Amino acid sequence: MAGYLRAVSSLCRASGSARTWAPAALTVPSWPEQPRRHYAEKRIKVEKPVVEMDGDEMTRIIWQFIKEKLILPHVDVQLKYFDLGLPGHH
């Protein structure tokens, strides 16, 4: 290893560009960037409305998170909302 470094440093001095030239063995390898997959460039259009039913408070919180983060950014859909919880039971 020491012999290799001496040879590299002598090459750098001989070329006169010791600061701009770096051997490939001493540089960090640059990995090719992974290709990006564009599965959906636009939102999916749903023709008919979808019924959204809520029950107790915990399912309401979980469904709100799923709907806002996973569904609505990717799907263009009209939602029909029905509350089946006890306060809205009448």
Same domain, 56 and 89: yes
Which residue range is the domain that position 89 belongs to?
46-90
16: left (phi over 0), alpha (psi -120 to 50) or beta: left
Q: Is residue 16 part of a domain?
A: yes
Q: Is residue 36 part of a domain?
A: no
* CA dihedral angle for residue 81, residue 85, residue 86, residue 88, rounded to 10 degrees: -20
Q: Is residue 37 part of a domain?
A: no
Structural domains of the chain, count:
2
What's the token pair of residue 90? Answer: 């009448």
Q: Is residue 38 part of a domain?
A: no
pLDDT digits (tens, 9 = 90+) for 8-41: 677 666 655 545 555 666 666 667 777 777 776 7
Same domain, 20 and 54: no
Residue 59 φ then ψ, to 5° = -65, -30
Q: Is the pLDDT of residue 88 over 60?
A: no
Q: Per the confidence metrics, is the pTM higher than 0.75?
A: no
Q: Is residue 32 part of a domain?
A: no
Give me the residue label for tokens 């010791």.
18
